[in-house]
Structure 1
Amino acid sequence: MKIYFATHNTNKLRELRALIPENLELLGLDDLGLHEEIPETADTIEGNSAMKTRYVFEKHGVACFGDDTGLEVEALGGAPGVYSARYAGPDNDSHANMDLLLSNLKNEENRKARFKTVITYIDNQGHEYQFTGIAKGEIIREKTGAQGFGYDPVFLPEGEDRTFAEMSAAEKNARSHRARAFEQLIQFLKTK
């Protein structure tokens, strides 16, 4: 069975391909010939996830899923949240986002944070389902590690002594928010 992931992000595709059963073929937007950027203008993580998935389904009518992830920091009232990818502005990268986050937390003792991923799946008949994965942890005081992407170098998962960026892809997949949401999707697909 083919399932399309509403992303151009090769890092996300690589992460999730390592988790899928052999009877599923995970394809990205490039495989559909869909090269434009999909709008992400909702004000919630759930809304952006659904928006991306509906966009692909409406254009191509294929079973597909989209995700959105946010880093929610307790001391910042849940920020950057839905704005995680553009926290430091639309033209900045993950390093600028991390630098701003560390600056905003400079005098904070409460470093609790969580990654939240929401996956929206639409089947061939247009039925829609959502799955949520959470990874709790804290924001450390400086970037550590060279693996992963996004905020991985500053996020220390609960019960661990290494950031996501210090872990191999397999180690991160065993603990990550995206993997937890995706596992729920896979279990759901096994019942169909």
Structure 2
Amino acid sequence: MRDIVFVTGNANKLKEVKMLLASETLNLTNEPLDLDELQDTNLVSIATDKCKQAIKILGPGKEVFVEDTALTFDEFNGLPGAYIKWFVKSMGLDKIVKMLDSFENKGAEAITTIAYADSKGEIHIFQGITKGKIVPSRGSLNFGWDSIFEPLDTPNLTYAELSKEEKNKISHRAKAFEHFKAYLDTLN
């Protein structure tokens, strides 16, 4: 059985990732490490930097991964991107939606970037993207900005209005973890 450490302190994220990576050959544990976040708009750079920090803290020889999620607005050339969690925390969802009021284009992309370090410390990147649009908040407020993101795959339903199973079929996180799991399967 392969032991892999997921660096997160977010219980919701851990539960979702365990569902996405479910495998009889994988033992997923987590470490809620407090990592510095590189201030950058490049999602690969941010995830890679976090993964390197985790390797330093956990020590060599362990398989470890970090996951970083962003929400980009087409009209804002990719912003808020990785800063979305700070926008949600400081402004709230209604004000984020209002930022796009004067623009016709409400297009957005939800992006998950996974940086995985194998036992040799080599880093591999996996990314998933779901296209959608920003809408007034609908559904549960339990998971970040899910209630303002309406994927193109499910018109008239935000992530927050979908069941976990429905969301896991189309979400940016599901797509990234599908690539990651396929890679891990080649190592068995």
Q: Counterpart in 1 of 2:148?
A: 154
Q: Counterpart in 2 of 1:135?
A: 130
Q: TM-score, normalization: structure 2?
A: 0.90
Q: How does 1:40-51 map to 2 (within 5 A)?
A: 40-43=37-40, 44-51=42-49
Q: Which runs of 5+ in 2 are unaligned?
A: none
Q: Counterpart in 2 of 1:87?
A: 87
Deviates more, 1:120-129 or 1:75-84: 75-84
Q: Counterpart in 2 of 1:18?
A: 19
Deviation, 1:147, is 6.0
Sequence identity (%): 34
Deviates more, 1:147-156 or 1:124-133: 147-156
* Contact preservation (8 Å) 2:153, 2:170: no
1:150-176 alpha-carbon deviations (Å, 9 max, x no partner): 110010001312100011111111111
Separation in 2 of the partners of 1:187 and 1:27?
A: 19
Q: Which runs of 5+ in 1 are unaligned?
A: none
Q: How does 1:30-179 map to 2 (within 5 A)?
A: 30=32, 34=33, 37-43=34-40, 44-60=42-58, 61=60, 62-87=62-87, 92=89, 96-140=91-135, 142-146=136-140, 149-160=143-154, 161-179=156-174
Q: Counterpart in 2 of 1:4?
A: 5
SS at match of 1:13: helix
Give the counterpart letter for 1:29 in structure 2: E
Separation in 1 of the partners of 2:9 and 2:26?
A: 19
Deviation, 1:108, is 1.8
| CA RMSD after TM alignment | 1.5
Deviates more, 1:109-118 or 1:96-105: 96-105
Separation in 2 of the partners of 1:67 and 1:47?
A: 12
Q: TM-score, normalization: structure 1?
A: 0.88
Deviation, 1:48, is 1.6
Deviation, 1:38, is 0.6
Structure 1: 4+ residue segments shifted above 2 A: none
**In the alignment, which of 174, 180, 188 is matched to residue 175 of structure 2?**
180
